[in-house]
Structure 1
Amino acid sequence: MQASVKWVEGDTFIGLSNSGHNVVFDTGSDSAAPSPMEMVLMSVGCCSSVDVVSILQKSKQDVSNVEVKLSAERAQTAPKVFTKINLHFVVTGKDVSEKHLARAISLSAEKYCSVALMLDKTVEITHSHEVVSL
């Protein structure tokens, strides 16, 4: 895997993935795009969500929406790394099983989500969830 990041101006950068996708980063106080750390946080949420959706679908769960609400704490001094991350899954559907959802989240956290598994070496990652019935 390869990528590049190019400085645009001020605190704005554009990342280009090997697959040809552009992502804007901005680290200024009046930023127009996410910061690199916000992108990391959203990446762990996306990675886990992909797993959870896939596992729930394979389990024949009638899911209509999955949202993960992310919260994180960072170190007070530089480098201001993440110290804690919580992924709170809100799954909407008809008769979605709490047991199946908990299992999907657990499998993602322990086996499938490469972003979370990489971060888990240095960050306390927790998970919570709720089911919204239709």
Structure 2
Amino acid sequence: MQAKVQWVEGDTFIGTSHSGHNVVFDTGSDPKAPSPMEMVLMSAGACSSVDVVSILKKARQQVSGVQVQLSGERAETTPRVFTKINLHFIVTGTEVSEKHVERAVALSADKYCSVAIMLEKSVQITHSFEVQEIV
């Protein structure tokens, strides 16, 4: 896998993936795009969400929405690495089994989400979830 990041101006950079997709990063005091650390946090959420949706679909759950709310704590001193991250999944649907959601979140955390598993080597990562029934 390869990528590149190019400085645009000020504190703005554009990352280009090997597949040709662009992402804007901004580290300034009045940012116009996410910072690199925000992107890391969102990447963990996106990676885990892909797993949870896929696992729930395979379990034939009637899921209409999956959202993950992410919270991260960072070290006070430089480098301000993440020390804790929580991924809280909100799964909406009809007759969605909490047991299936719990299993999907656990499989993502323990086996499938390469981003979170990589971060877990130095960051305390926790997971939680709730199921919201659509009436």
Is TM (by shorter chain) over 0.5?
yes
In structure 2, how many angstroms separate the alpha carbons of the residues matched to 1:128 and 1:19? 33
1:56 is matched with 56
Deviation at 1:120, TM superposition (A): 0.4
CA shift digits 1:47-76 (9 cap, x unpaired): 000000000000000000000000000000
- Alignment coverage as a number of residue pairs: 134
TM-score normalised over the length of structure 2: 0.99
1:116 is matched with 116
1:16 is matched with 16
In structure 2, how many angstroms separate the alpha carbons of the residues matched to 1:118 and 1:42? 14
In structure 2, how many angstroms separate the alpha carbons of the residues matched to 1:28 and 1:96? 42
Letter in 2 for 1:118: M
1:37 is matched with 37
In structure 2, how many angstroms separate the alpha carbons of the residues matched to 1:29 and 1:131? 37
1:90 is matched with 90
Secondary structure, aligned partner of 2:125: strand
Secondary structure, aligned partner of 1:71: strand
In structure 1, how many angstroms separate the alpha carbons of the residues matched to 2:56 and 2:6? 39
Deviation at 1:19, TM superposition (A): 0.2
Deviation at 1:127, TM superposition (A): 0.4
Secondary structure, aligned partner of 1:129: strand
Letter in 2 for 1:55: I
Letter in 2 for 1:51: D
Structure 2 unpaired stretches of 5+:
none
Identity across the alignment (%): 74
Letter in 1 for 2:69: K
Structure 1 unpaired stretches of 5+:
none
In structure 2, how many angstroms separate the alpha carbons of the residues matched to 1:48 and 1:67? 10
TM-score normalised over the length of structure 1: 1.00
Letter in 1 for 2:6: K
Deviation at 1:103, TM superposition (A): 0.3
CA shift digits 1:90-123 (9 cap, x unpaired): 0000000000000000000000000000000000
